[in-house]
């Protein structure tokens, strides 16, 4: 899962947890808020009563009687003034039952003791609990709606902010990793960001790529120079060995040794030639301005390899479309690419085996070219390293692993992609992907 997806999931789950906890505690919170407001309301009513008594005297309520009581029509609220004994009663607010008329009701009651004209009175102001709670459900529903709306809004804001926050990281990944191709010839510019962690990551990747590029340049320069320097002594050695083979009066034993030396020199010359070829590819010494018909190209290759096919009694099938042209390539490199792959399919095939060339193309998608053989196959553990130099994936010394290394260099240079699949003992399939903008279809 991507980092943005994980952060989105974290934000959503954390908000959901908050909503669940709030919903579970909402009834208690609303009940508490209702009672607190009722307490505040009762205190305000007490202040009004005391203000009236202070202004007009307690007879304003008693009117000559020893006690006073009054309640609303629906008995939702009541007020009473009763004589008190000498014991001091602490001011309090409590929930208790009161008999009003013929009904016994639960009230939230404020009890206050006051003194007027040297007489103690108890003031009670009450409000039924049913009146206090009648708006609780509506308040809960309204609060829940507000909470859901705010949660949704906060999630959207968090996602937008997270997306903006991670935008530099996405750009770093795209510019430094996904869209850059080895050997990183063009200098990389830092991504603008105010996040110091991203700045450090970006600069670290730039420094790492520069070190990789420098190491690659040194290796490429060494390979090119060494290959050029080796060609001269190898050519001299080859000439001397050929001259020795042409001399008369050489024993049969010496002739065999000289012949063995000649094979070794030829093999060494092939290696150096391959290294030079790879060096030329990596140094961009080939133009990419030609258009090649793949069907005709494979026909040229099979003309050269037909003798080898007959030697091993191999059945070759070419099912490539005759209408497909590949533009912006180098003919010689494309020829060498397919030649090496088909040659490998012949070399490591079984007697009376087969080689099948197929392709498929869907507009808007890369063109796919497959080379399938019924050869000895490649072991699963060897597949990741078959394109490495001097690595033989067939358990044999011939080839020295440079044929497929050249294939990989050409693939990278032309802008193609390649995949390999193999069942050991059954055969191998090389699949080449060519970008759709390089494909032309002619009638």
Tell me if 198 is assigned to some domain.
no
Q: To the nearest whole number, what is the mean pLDDT of the chain?
A: 84
CA dist., res. 305 & res. 292, Å (int)? 20
Which CATH number characterizes residue 435's domain?
3.30.565.10
- How many angstroms separate the Cα of 383 from the Cα of each of 91, 293, 356? 88, 30, 21
Domain boundary among 111, 136, 161: 136
Q: What is the pTM of this model?
A: 0.52
On whether both 401 and 260 belong to a single domain, the answer is no
Let me know whether 344 and 385 are in one domain.
Answer: yes
For residues 67 and 28, state if they share a domain: yes
What's the pLDDT score for residue 357?
95
Q: What is the pLDDT of residue 390?
A: 59
Distances (CA, A) of 432 to 84, 113, 316, 359, 369: 103, 97, 19, 9, 5
* 200 part of a folded domain: no
244 and 340 share one domain: no
Mark which of 121, 136, 151 sits at the end of a domain: 136
As a whole-number percent, the residues of the chain with pLDDT over 70 amount to 93
Domains held by the chain: number: 3
Same structural domain, 302 and 245: no
Q: 184-217: per-residue pLDDT in tens? A: 666 778 888 888 888 888 888 888 888 877 777 7
Distance CA(272)–CA(225), nearest Å, equals 11
How does pLDDT run across 62-75, given as a tens digit for each residue?
888 888 988 888 88
Judgement on whether residues 232 and 354 belong to the same structural domain of the protein: no
- pLDDT of 397: 40
CA nearest to 133, candidates 29, 24, 35: 35
Residue 329 and residue 232 share a domain: no
Q: What is the pLDDT of residue 184?
A: 64
Collect all residues with Cβ–Cβ distance below 8 Å to 341 and sequence separation of at least 6: 371, 407, 430
351 lies in some domain = yes
Helix, strand, or coil here: 195? coil
In a domain, 210, yes or no: no
pLDDT at 413: 87
Residue 86 confidence (pLDDT): 66
pLDDT of residue 341: 93
Are 420 and 299 members of one domain?
yes
**Which pLDDT belongs to residue 399?**
40
Contacts of 364 (CB under 8 A, 6+ apart): 436
Is-contact 392 404, C-beta < 8 A?
no
Mapped onto helix, strand or coil, the DSSP state of residue 290 is: strand
Rounded-to-integer distance, Cα 285 and Cα 337, Å: 16
Range of the domain at 266: 219-282
Last residue of a domain, one of 282, 304, 328: 282
For residue 55, being part of any structural domain is answered with yes
- 346 and 260 within one domain: no
Q: Are residues 357 and 297 in the same domain?
A: yes
Question: Above 80 in pLDDT, residue 398?
Answer: no
Is 294 in the same domain as 429? yes
SS3 content of the chain, % helix, strand, coil (to 5): 55, 20, 25
């Amino acid at each position: 899962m991507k980092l943005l997806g994980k952060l989105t999931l974290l934000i959503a789950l954390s908000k959901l947890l908050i909503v669940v906890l709030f919903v579970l505690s909402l009834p208690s919170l609303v009940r508490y808020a209702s009672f607190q407001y009722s307490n505040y309301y009762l205190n305000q009513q007490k202040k009004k009563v005391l203000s009236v008594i202070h202004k007009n005297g307690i007879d304003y309520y008693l009117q000559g009687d020893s006690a006073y009581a009054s309640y609303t029509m629906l008995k939702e609220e009541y007020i009473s003034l009763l004589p008190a004994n000498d014991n001091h009663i602490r001011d309090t607010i409590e929930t208790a039952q009161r008999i009003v008329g013929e009904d016994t009701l639960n009230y939230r009651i404020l009890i206050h003791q006051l003194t007027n004209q040297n007489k103690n009175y108890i003031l009670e102001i009450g409000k039924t609990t049913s009146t206090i709670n009648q708006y609780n459900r509506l308040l809960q529903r309204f609060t829940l709606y507000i909470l859901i709306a705010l949660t949704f809004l906060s999630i959207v804001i968090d996602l937008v902010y997270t997306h903006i926050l991670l935008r530099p990281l996405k750009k770093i990944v795209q510019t430094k990793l996904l869209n850059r191709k080895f050997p990183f010839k063009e200098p990389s510019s830092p991504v603008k960001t105010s996040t110091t962690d991203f700045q450090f990551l970006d600069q670290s990747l730039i420094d790492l790529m520069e070190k990789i590029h420098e190491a690659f340049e040194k290796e490429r320069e060494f390979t090119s120079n060494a290959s050029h320097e080796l060609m001269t002594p190898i050519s001299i050695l080859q000439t001397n060995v050929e001259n020795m083979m042409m001399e008369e009066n050489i024993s049969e034993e010496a002739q065999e040794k000289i012949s063995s030396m000649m094979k070794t020199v030829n093999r060494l010359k092939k290696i150096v030639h391959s290294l030079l070829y790879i060096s030329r590819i990596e140094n961009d010494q080939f133009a990419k301005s030609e258009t090649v018909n793949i069907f005709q190209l494979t026909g040229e290759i099979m003309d050269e390899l037909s003798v080898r096919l007959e030697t091993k009694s191999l059945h070759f099938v070419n099912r490539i479309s005759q209408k497909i042209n590949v533009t912006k390539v180098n003919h010689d490199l494309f020829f060498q690419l397919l030649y090496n792959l088909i040659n490998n399919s012949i070399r490591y095939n079984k007697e009376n085996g087969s080689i099948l060339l197929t392709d498929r193309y869907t507009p808007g998608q890369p063109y796919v070219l497959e080379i399938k053989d019924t050869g000895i196959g490649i072991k699963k553990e060897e597949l990741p390293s078959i394109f490495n130099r001097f690595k033989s994936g067939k358990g044999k010394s011939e080839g020295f692993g440079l044929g497929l290394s050249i294939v990989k260099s050409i693939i990278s240079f032309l802008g193609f992609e390649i995949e390999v699949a193999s069942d050991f003992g059954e055969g191998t399939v090389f699949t080449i992907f060519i970008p759709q903008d390089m494909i032309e279809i002619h009638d």
